[in-house]
Amino acid sequence: MENTDLLEKIELFVREKNYPQIKNSLSGHPEDIAELISGLALPSSKLLVFRLVPYGKAIDVFEHLPIEEEEQILDSLTSSEIKDILNEMSPDDRTGLFEEMPAEIVKKFINLLSPEERSIAIEILNYPHDSVGRLITPDFVQLFEKMTVAEALTHIRSVGMKRETIYHCYVLDESKRLKGIVSLKKLVLAQPDKKISEIIFRDIIKVNVYDDKEIAADIFKKYDLIALPVVDNDGKLLGIVTFDDLVDVLEEEVTEDFEKIAAVVPVDKPYMDAGFFELVWKRSFWLIVLTVLESASSLVMQNFAGVIQQWIALTFFLPILLATGGNAGMQSAMMIIRGLATGDITVKDFFRVVFRESLLGLFIGVILALVGLVRVVLQQSNWLLSISVGTAMGVTIMFSAILGAALPLIFRKLKLDPALMSGPLITTIVDVVGIFLYFQIAKAILST
Protein backbone atom coordinates (compact mmCIF):
# COMPACT_ATOMS: atom_id res chain seq x y z
CA MET A 1 0.00 0.00 0.00
CA GLU A 2 1.24 3.50 -0.86
CA ASN A 3 2.34 5.48 2.18
CA THR A 4 -0.13 8.31 1.41
CA ASP A 5 -3.02 5.82 1.24
CA LEU A 6 -1.97 4.23 4.53
CA LEU A 7 -1.66 7.66 6.13
CA GLU A 8 -5.19 8.56 5.08
CA LYS A 9 -6.49 5.26 6.46
CA ILE A 10 -4.69 5.79 9.77
CA GLU A 11 -6.18 9.28 10.11
CA LEU A 12 -9.62 7.83 9.37
CA PHE A 13 -9.12 5.10 11.99
CA VAL A 14 -8.03 7.76 14.51
CA ARG A 15 -11.20 9.79 13.91
CA GLU A 16 -13.31 6.63 14.23
CA LYS A 17 -11.33 5.49 17.29
CA ASN A 18 -10.79 2.15 15.53
CA TYR A 19 -7.75 1.15 17.60
CA PRO A 20 -7.55 -2.53 16.46
CA GLN A 21 -7.22 -1.44 12.83
CA ILE A 22 -4.50 1.08 13.76
CA LYS A 23 -2.56 -1.68 15.53
CA ASN A 24 -2.88 -3.96 12.50
CA SER A 25 -1.50 -1.19 10.28
CA LEU A 26 1.68 -0.83 12.36
CA SER A 27 3.39 -4.04 11.29
CA GLY A 28 6.10 -2.56 9.07
CA HIS A 29 9.71 -1.53 9.63
CA PRO A 30 10.28 0.91 12.55
CA GLU A 31 11.57 3.54 10.10
CA ASP A 32 8.36 3.31 8.06
CA ILE A 33 6.18 3.49 11.18
CA ALA A 34 8.10 6.56 12.36
CA GLU A 35 7.61 8.21 8.96
CA LEU A 36 3.91 7.38 9.16
CA ILE A 37 3.58 8.96 12.62
CA SER A 38 5.47 12.07 11.44
CA GLY A 39 3.02 12.42 8.56
CA LEU A 40 0.00 12.72 10.84
CA ALA A 41 -1.39 16.24 11.07
CA LEU A 42 -2.29 16.50 14.76
CA PRO A 43 0.16 16.04 17.67
CA SER A 44 -2.59 14.19 19.56
CA SER A 45 -2.89 11.71 16.67
CA LYS A 46 0.88 11.18 16.67
CA LEU A 47 0.86 10.40 20.38
CA LEU A 48 -2.13 8.06 20.06
CA VAL A 49 -0.59 6.06 17.20
CA PHE A 50 2.77 5.88 18.99
CA ARG A 51 1.08 4.44 22.09
CA LEU A 52 -0.40 1.70 19.88
CA VAL A 53 2.98 0.65 18.47
CA PRO A 54 3.83 -2.88 19.68
CA TYR A 55 6.07 -2.75 22.76
CA GLY A 56 8.93 -4.55 21.07
CA LYS A 57 9.11 -1.91 18.33
CA ALA A 58 8.32 1.22 20.34
CA ILE A 59 11.91 2.18 21.15
CA ASP A 60 13.13 1.62 17.58
CA VAL A 61 10.24 3.69 16.23
CA PHE A 62 10.91 6.45 18.76
CA GLU A 63 14.60 6.64 17.78
CA HIS A 64 13.64 7.14 14.12
CA LEU A 65 11.33 10.08 14.84
CA PRO A 66 12.54 13.68 14.30
CA ILE A 67 13.91 15.27 17.48
CA GLU A 68 11.02 17.77 17.67
CA GLU A 69 8.44 14.98 17.64
CA GLU A 70 10.38 12.97 20.22
CA GLU A 71 10.17 16.00 22.51
CA GLN A 72 6.42 16.37 21.88
CA ILE A 73 5.80 12.73 22.72
CA LEU A 74 7.93 12.86 25.87
CA ASP A 75 5.95 15.92 27.03
CA SER A 76 2.78 13.82 26.90
CA LEU A 77 4.06 10.67 28.64
CA THR A 78 4.18 9.80 32.31
CA SER A 79 7.50 9.77 34.20
CA SER A 80 7.39 5.98 34.24
CA GLU A 81 6.94 5.79 30.45
CA ILE A 82 9.70 8.36 29.88
CA LYS A 83 12.01 6.40 32.17
CA ASP A 84 11.44 3.20 30.18
CA ILE A 85 12.06 4.90 26.83
CA LEU A 86 15.20 6.79 27.87
CA ASN A 87 16.77 3.75 29.51
CA GLU A 88 16.14 1.59 26.44
CA MET A 89 17.37 4.14 23.87
CA SER A 90 20.84 3.72 22.43
CA PRO A 91 23.29 6.18 24.07
CA ASP A 92 24.08 8.05 20.84
CA ASP A 93 20.43 8.60 19.93
CA ARG A 94 19.67 9.65 23.50
CA THR A 95 22.54 12.15 23.38
CA GLY A 96 21.16 13.61 20.14
CA LEU A 97 17.82 14.12 21.88
CA PHE A 98 19.38 15.71 24.97
CA GLU A 99 21.43 18.13 22.83
CA GLU A 100 18.24 19.74 21.53
CA MET A 101 16.56 20.13 24.93
CA PRO A 102 16.79 22.90 27.53
CA ALA A 103 19.35 22.18 30.26
CA GLU A 104 16.73 21.93 33.04
CA ILE A 105 14.74 19.30 31.10
CA VAL A 106 17.90 17.30 30.38
CA LYS A 107 18.81 17.35 34.08
CA LYS A 108 15.34 16.04 34.96
CA PHE A 109 15.53 13.26 32.36
CA ILE A 110 19.05 12.22 33.39
CA ASN A 111 17.75 11.66 36.91
CA LEU A 112 15.26 9.16 35.46
CA LEU A 113 18.07 6.99 34.09
CA SER A 114 19.47 3.96 35.84
CA PRO A 115 22.87 4.53 37.54
CA GLU A 116 24.70 2.81 34.67
CA GLU A 117 22.87 4.69 31.90
CA ARG A 118 23.18 7.97 33.83
CA SER A 119 26.93 7.55 34.04
CA ILE A 120 27.13 6.90 30.28
CA ALA A 121 24.89 9.87 29.44
CA ILE A 122 26.86 12.32 31.61
CA GLU A 123 30.19 11.11 30.25
CA ILE A 124 29.08 11.58 26.62
CA LEU A 125 27.50 15.00 27.28
CA ASN A 126 30.76 16.20 28.84
CA TYR A 127 32.60 15.91 25.53
CA PRO A 128 32.77 19.03 23.29
CA HIS A 129 29.67 19.61 21.17
CA ASP A 130 31.28 18.93 17.77
CA SER A 131 33.56 16.12 18.95
CA VAL A 132 33.34 12.44 18.08
CA GLY A 133 32.66 11.78 21.76
CA ARG A 134 29.09 13.06 21.34
CA LEU A 135 28.40 10.24 18.85
CA ILE A 136 29.87 7.23 20.63
CA THR A 137 28.01 4.25 21.95
CA PRO A 138 29.61 1.92 24.51
CA ASP A 139 27.48 -0.96 23.21
CA PHE A 140 30.23 -2.89 21.42
CA VAL A 141 31.54 -6.44 21.76
CA GLN A 142 34.86 -6.55 23.56
CA LEU A 143 37.16 -9.55 23.52
CA PHE A 144 40.57 -10.27 25.04
CA GLU A 145 43.69 -11.65 23.37
CA LYS A 146 43.92 -14.68 25.67
CA MET A 147 40.42 -15.89 24.77
CA THR A 148 39.94 -18.83 22.43
CA VAL A 149 37.62 -18.56 19.43
CA ALA A 150 35.12 -20.85 21.18
CA GLU A 151 35.10 -18.62 24.28
CA ALA A 152 34.70 -15.52 22.11
CA LEU A 153 31.68 -16.96 20.28
CA THR A 154 30.09 -17.98 23.58
CA HIS A 155 30.61 -14.43 24.85
CA ILE A 156 29.08 -12.93 21.69
CA ARG A 157 25.98 -15.14 22.06
CA SER A 158 25.51 -13.95 25.64
CA VAL A 159 25.85 -10.20 25.00
CA GLY A 160 25.22 -9.78 21.27
CA MET A 161 21.53 -8.85 21.47
CA LYS A 162 22.37 -5.81 23.61
CA ARG A 163 25.15 -4.51 21.37
CA GLU A 164 24.97 -1.98 18.55
CA THR A 165 26.84 -4.29 16.18
CA ILE A 166 28.52 -7.69 16.38
CA TYR A 167 30.06 -7.78 12.91
CA HIS A 168 33.30 -6.39 14.27
CA CYS A 169 34.60 -7.24 17.74
CA TYR A 170 37.23 -5.17 19.51
CA VAL A 171 40.16 -6.87 21.20
CA LEU A 172 41.51 -5.21 24.37
CA ASP A 173 44.36 -5.84 26.78
CA GLU A 174 44.02 -5.88 30.58
CA SER A 175 44.16 -2.05 30.68
CA LYS A 176 41.28 -1.77 28.15
CA ARG A 177 43.64 -0.47 25.46
CA LEU A 178 42.59 -1.33 21.93
CA LYS A 179 44.91 -3.98 20.46
CA GLY A 180 43.05 -5.03 17.35
CA ILE A 181 39.81 -5.98 15.62
CA VAL A 182 38.39 -9.33 14.59
CA SER A 183 35.38 -9.81 12.32
CA LEU A 184 32.54 -12.16 13.11
CA LYS A 185 33.20 -13.91 9.79
CA LYS A 186 36.77 -14.69 10.83
CA LEU A 187 35.61 -15.97 14.23
CA VAL A 188 33.02 -18.30 12.72
CA LEU A 189 35.50 -19.74 10.21
CA ALA A 190 38.44 -20.12 12.63
CA GLN A 191 39.25 -23.28 14.60
CA PRO A 192 37.55 -23.22 18.05
CA ASP A 193 40.81 -23.71 19.97
CA LYS A 194 42.69 -20.87 18.27
CA LYS A 195 43.63 -17.85 20.38
CA ILE A 196 42.14 -14.47 19.51
CA SER A 197 45.68 -13.05 19.45
CA GLU A 198 46.41 -15.26 16.42
CA ILE A 199 43.59 -13.99 14.21
CA ILE A 200 43.15 -10.31 15.07
CA PHE A 201 43.82 -7.47 12.65
CA ARG A 202 46.24 -5.08 14.37
CA ASP A 203 46.47 -2.27 11.80
CA ILE A 204 43.59 -0.37 13.40
CA ILE A 205 41.82 2.64 11.97
CA LYS A 206 40.61 4.66 14.94
CA VAL A 207 39.82 8.18 16.04
CA ASN A 208 40.39 10.19 19.22
CA VAL A 209 37.34 11.01 21.31
CA TYR A 210 38.09 14.77 21.09
CA ASP A 211 38.49 14.83 17.29
CA ASP A 212 35.92 16.77 15.27
CA LYS A 213 32.94 14.84 13.90
CA GLU A 214 33.93 15.77 10.36
CA ILE A 215 37.28 14.01 10.79
CA ALA A 216 35.41 10.80 11.64
CA ALA A 217 33.10 11.34 8.65
CA ASP A 218 36.11 11.72 6.33
CA ILE A 219 37.63 8.50 7.70
CA PHE A 220 34.35 6.64 7.09
CA LYS A 221 34.24 7.88 3.50
CA LYS A 222 37.86 7.01 2.84
CA TYR A 223 37.88 3.47 4.29
CA ASP A 224 34.22 2.40 3.73
CA LEU A 225 33.77 1.43 7.38
CA ILE A 226 30.73 0.03 9.21
CA ALA A 227 31.91 1.20 12.63
CA LEU A 228 34.82 3.27 13.88
CA PRO A 229 36.50 2.70 17.28
CA VAL A 230 36.96 5.77 19.49
CA VAL A 231 39.84 5.92 21.97
CA ASP A 232 41.08 8.34 24.63
CA ASN A 233 44.56 9.87 24.78
CA ASP A 234 45.92 6.67 26.41
CA GLY A 235 44.56 4.43 23.66
CA LYS A 236 41.75 3.00 25.80
CA LEU A 237 38.63 2.09 23.86
CA LEU A 238 35.70 4.26 24.98
CA GLY A 239 33.13 3.26 22.38
CA ILE A 240 32.36 3.07 18.69
CA VAL A 241 30.68 5.31 16.14
CA THR A 242 28.41 3.54 13.67
CA PHE A 243 27.73 4.43 10.07
CA ASP A 244 24.15 5.59 10.67
CA ASP A 245 25.38 8.31 13.04
CA LEU A 246 28.02 9.51 10.58
CA VAL A 247 25.42 9.71 7.79
CA ASP A 248 23.68 12.40 9.87
CA VAL A 249 27.00 14.24 10.29
CA LEU A 250 27.63 14.11 6.53
CA GLU A 251 24.12 15.42 5.85
CA GLU A 252 24.64 18.30 8.30
CA GLU A 253 28.04 19.07 6.77
CA VAL A 254 26.67 19.15 3.21
CA THR A 255 23.68 21.28 4.28
CA GLU A 256 25.96 23.75 6.06
CA ASP A 257 28.24 24.00 3.02
CA PHE A 258 25.28 24.62 0.71
CA GLU A 259 24.05 27.38 3.02
CA LYS A 260 27.48 29.02 3.10
CA ILE A 261 27.85 28.73 -0.67
CA ALA A 262 24.46 30.47 -1.01
CA ALA A 263 25.66 33.23 1.38
CA VAL A 264 23.30 32.19 4.16
CA VAL A 265 24.36 32.03 7.81
CA PRO A 266 23.86 28.29 8.67
CA VAL A 267 20.39 27.48 10.02
CA ASP A 268 20.39 24.72 12.63
CA LYS A 269 16.76 23.73 12.06
CA PRO A 270 14.70 22.35 9.14
CA TYR A 271 13.32 25.12 6.93
CA MET A 272 9.70 24.75 8.11
CA ASP A 273 10.73 24.68 11.79
CA ALA A 274 12.95 27.77 11.68
CA GLY A 275 11.42 30.99 12.97
CA PHE A 276 10.46 33.69 10.45
CA PHE A 277 12.65 36.42 11.96
CA GLU A 278 15.49 33.93 12.45
CA LEU A 279 15.44 33.28 8.69
CA VAL A 280 15.27 37.03 8.02
CA TRP A 281 18.47 37.56 10.02
CA LYS A 282 20.30 34.49 8.71
CA ARG A 283 19.63 35.44 5.10
CA SER A 284 19.99 39.21 5.36
CA PHE A 285 23.37 39.26 7.18
CA TRP A 286 25.48 38.30 4.17
CA LEU A 287 23.24 40.27 1.80
CA ILE A 288 24.00 43.41 3.84
CA VAL A 289 27.75 42.64 3.74
CA LEU A 290 27.63 41.98 -0.01
CA THR A 291 25.63 45.16 -0.62
CA VAL A 292 28.27 47.21 1.18
CA LEU A 293 31.04 45.52 -0.83
CA GLU A 294 29.13 45.89 -4.09
CA SER A 295 28.69 49.62 -3.43
CA ALA A 296 32.41 50.00 -4.18
CA SER A 297 31.55 49.41 -7.84
CA SER A 298 29.62 52.71 -7.93
CA LEU A 299 32.72 54.50 -6.69
CA VAL A 300 34.77 52.88 -9.46
CA MET A 301 32.23 53.92 -12.10
CA GLN A 302 32.18 57.46 -10.68
CA ASN A 303 35.95 57.60 -11.11
CA PHE A 304 35.53 56.78 -14.82
CA ALA A 305 32.62 59.18 -15.37
CA GLY A 306 34.51 60.98 -18.15
CA VAL A 307 35.05 57.77 -20.15
CA ILE A 308 31.41 56.75 -19.68
CA GLN A 309 30.14 60.15 -20.89
CA GLN A 310 32.34 59.96 -23.96
CA TRP A 311 31.56 56.30 -24.70
CA ILE A 312 28.05 55.70 -23.37
CA ALA A 313 27.93 52.44 -25.37
CA LEU A 314 30.37 50.92 -22.85
CA THR A 315 27.54 50.62 -20.34
CA PHE A 316 25.51 48.48 -22.79
CA PHE A 317 27.96 45.59 -22.41
CA LEU A 318 28.80 45.95 -18.73
CA PRO A 319 26.11 43.42 -17.54
CA ILE A 320 27.50 40.78 -19.95
CA LEU A 321 31.03 41.32 -18.64
CA LEU A 322 29.99 41.11 -14.98
CA ALA A 323 27.76 38.06 -15.43
CA THR A 324 30.44 36.17 -17.39
CA GLY A 325 33.20 37.09 -14.94
CA GLY A 326 31.09 36.09 -11.93
CA ASN A 327 30.18 32.76 -13.53
CA ALA A 328 33.82 32.02 -14.36
CA GLY A 329 34.93 32.80 -10.80
CA MET A 330 32.15 30.67 -9.35
CA GLN A 331 33.09 27.73 -11.62
CA SER A 332 36.67 27.87 -10.43
CA ALA A 333 35.75 28.29 -6.75
CA MET A 334 33.27 25.41 -6.76
CA MET A 335 35.80 23.02 -8.30
CA ILE A 336 38.48 23.96 -5.76
CA ILE A 337 36.07 23.81 -2.78
CA ARG A 338 34.91 20.38 -3.92
CA GLY A 339 38.53 19.24 -4.34
CA LEU A 340 39.38 20.42 -0.81
CA ALA A 341 36.33 18.61 0.58
CA THR A 342 37.23 15.30 -1.06
CA GLY A 343 40.95 15.60 -0.31
CA ASP A 344 41.96 15.73 -4.00
CA ILE A 345 43.46 19.19 -3.39
CA THR A 346 45.44 20.44 -0.39
CA VAL A 347 46.91 23.80 0.61
CA LYS A 348 50.32 22.51 -0.53
CA ASP A 349 48.96 22.49 -4.09
CA PHE A 350 48.35 26.27 -4.00
CA PHE A 351 50.83 27.31 -6.71
CA ARG A 352 50.04 24.33 -8.96
CA VAL A 353 46.31 25.02 -8.71
CA VAL A 354 46.68 28.77 -9.30
CA PHE A 355 49.00 28.18 -12.28
CA ARG A 356 46.58 25.62 -13.75
CA GLU A 357 43.61 27.95 -13.30
CA SER A 358 45.64 30.81 -14.82
CA LEU A 359 46.15 28.77 -17.99
CA LEU A 360 42.51 27.68 -18.03
CA GLY A 361 41.42 31.27 -17.46
CA LEU A 362 43.72 32.47 -20.25
CA PHE A 363 42.35 30.01 -22.82
CA ILE A 364 38.72 30.47 -21.78
CA GLY A 365 39.29 34.22 -21.66
CA VAL A 366 40.60 34.25 -25.25
CA ILE A 367 37.55 32.29 -26.43
CA LEU A 368 35.09 34.57 -24.64
CA ALA A 369 37.03 37.67 -25.72
CA LEU A 370 36.41 36.66 -29.34
CA VAL A 371 32.74 35.99 -28.54
CA GLY A 372 32.47 39.40 -26.88
CA LEU A 373 34.24 41.12 -29.78
CA VAL A 374 31.85 39.62 -32.34
CA ARG A 375 28.87 40.47 -30.14
CA VAL A 376 29.84 44.17 -29.95
CA VAL A 377 30.61 44.38 -33.68
CA LEU A 378 27.14 43.04 -34.51
CA GLN A 379 25.49 45.65 -32.32
CA GLN A 380 27.73 48.74 -32.65
CA SER A 381 29.85 48.23 -35.81
CA ASN A 382 32.75 49.89 -33.98
CA TRP A 383 35.97 47.89 -34.07
CA LEU A 384 37.76 49.97 -31.44
CA LEU A 385 34.88 49.54 -28.99
CA SER A 386 34.69 45.83 -29.86
CA ILE A 387 38.38 45.29 -29.15
CA SER A 388 38.02 47.18 -25.87
CA VAL A 389 35.07 45.08 -24.65
CA GLY A 390 36.57 41.81 -25.88
CA THR A 391 39.94 42.47 -24.24
CA ALA A 392 38.29 43.48 -20.96
CA MET A 393 36.17 40.33 -21.00
CA GLY A 394 39.20 38.09 -21.58
CA VAL A 395 41.23 39.75 -18.80
CA THR A 396 38.28 39.60 -16.39
CA ILE A 397 37.73 35.90 -17.08
CA MET A 398 41.38 35.12 -16.36
CA PHE A 399 41.33 37.21 -13.19
CA SER A 400 38.09 35.53 -12.04
CA ALA A 401 39.50 32.03 -12.53
CA ILE A 402 42.63 32.86 -10.52
CA LEU A 403 40.61 34.53 -7.76
CA GLY A 404 38.13 31.65 -7.57
CA ALA A 405 41.00 29.19 -7.16
CA ALA A 406 43.15 31.19 -4.75
CA LEU A 407 40.60 32.40 -2.18
CA PRO A 408 39.29 28.97 -1.02
CA LEU A 409 42.89 27.76 -0.59
CA ILE A 410 43.81 30.89 1.37
CA PHE A 411 40.77 30.38 3.60
CA ARG A 412 41.77 26.76 4.25
CA LYS A 413 45.31 27.93 5.15
CA LEU A 414 43.79 30.41 7.63
CA LYS A 415 41.77 27.54 9.22
CA LEU A 416 38.52 28.99 7.86
CA ASP A 417 35.84 27.08 5.95
CA PRO A 418 36.54 27.36 2.18
CA ALA A 419 32.76 27.26 1.61
CA LEU A 420 32.67 30.84 2.94
CA MET A 421 34.12 31.76 -0.45
CA SER A 422 30.60 31.45 -1.76
CA GLY A 423 29.30 32.17 -5.24
CA PRO A 424 27.78 35.52 -4.21
CA LEU A 425 30.98 36.64 -2.47
CA ILE A 426 33.21 35.67 -5.40
CA THR A 427 30.76 37.36 -7.78
CA THR A 428 30.76 40.56 -5.73
CA ILE A 429 34.55 40.78 -5.67
CA VAL A 430 34.72 40.04 -9.41
CA ASP A 431 32.10 42.73 -10.07
CA VAL A 432 34.13 45.45 -8.35
CA VAL A 433 37.48 44.46 -9.87
CA GLY A 434 35.88 43.64 -13.25
CA ILE A 435 34.34 47.13 -13.53
CA PHE A 436 37.72 48.68 -12.76
CA LEU A 437 39.50 46.51 -15.37
CA TYR A 438 36.76 47.13 -17.94
CA PHE A 439 36.92 50.91 -17.81
CA GLN A 440 40.71 51.01 -17.36
CA ILE A 441 41.19 48.91 -20.51
CA ALA A 442 38.53 50.91 -22.38
CA LYS A 443 40.20 54.16 -21.38
CA ALA A 444 43.59 52.90 -22.60
CA ILE A 445 42.30 51.60 -25.95
CA LEU A 446 39.68 54.20 -26.79
CA SER A 447 41.98 57.10 -25.93
CA THR A 448 44.47 56.04 -28.62
Number of domains forming the structure of the chain: 3
Question: What residue numbers bound the domain in which 360 lies?
Answer: 295-446
One domain for residues 304 and 442: yes
One domain for residues 120 and 189: no
**Residue 423, domain CATH:** 1.10.357.20
Residue pLDDT, tens place only, 138-168: 888 999 988 999 999 999 999 888 888 888 8
**Residue 229, domain CATH:** 3.10.580.10
One domain for residues 107 and 200: no
One domain for residues 335 and 436: yes
Residue type, 289: V
Per-residue pLDDT, averaged over 59-75, amounts to 87
One domain for residues 196 and 88: no
282 sits in which H/E element: helix 276-294
**Residue 92, domain CATH:** 1.25.60.10
One domain for residues 91 and 182: no
Write the DSSP assignment of 317-382 as a string of letters.
Answer: GHHHHHHHHHHHHHHHHHHHHHHHHHTSS-GGGHHHHHHHHHHHHHHHHHHHHHHHHHHHHHHH--
Q: In 3D, which of 182, 176, 179 has the Cα closest to residue 200?
A: 182
One domain for residues 177 and 87: no
Whether residue 208 has pLDDT greater than 70? yes
One domain for residues 213 and 166: yes
Asked whether residue 71 is assigned to any structural domain, the reply reads yes
One domain for residues 122 and 14: yes
Asked whether residue 424 is assigned to any structural domain, the reply reads yes
Q: In 3D, which of 334, 421, 327, 316 has the Cα closest to residue 365?
A: 327
Assign 227 to helix, strand or coil. Answer: strand
Q: What is the pLDDT of residue 210?
A: 92
Q: 10 Å Cβ neighbour count for 157?
A: 10
Asked whether residue 365 is assigned to any structural domain, the reply reads yes
Q: How would residue 1 be classed by pLDDT, with cut points 50, 70 and 90?
A: very low
One domain for residues 397 and 305: yes
Q: What is the pLDDT of residue 219?
A: 85
Residue pLDDT, tens place only, 368-420: 778 877 877 777 667 777 888 788 888 888 888 888 888 888 888 887 777 66
Write the DSSP assignment of 80-111 as a string of letters.
Answer: HHHHHHHHHS-HHHHHHHHHTS-HHHHHHHHT
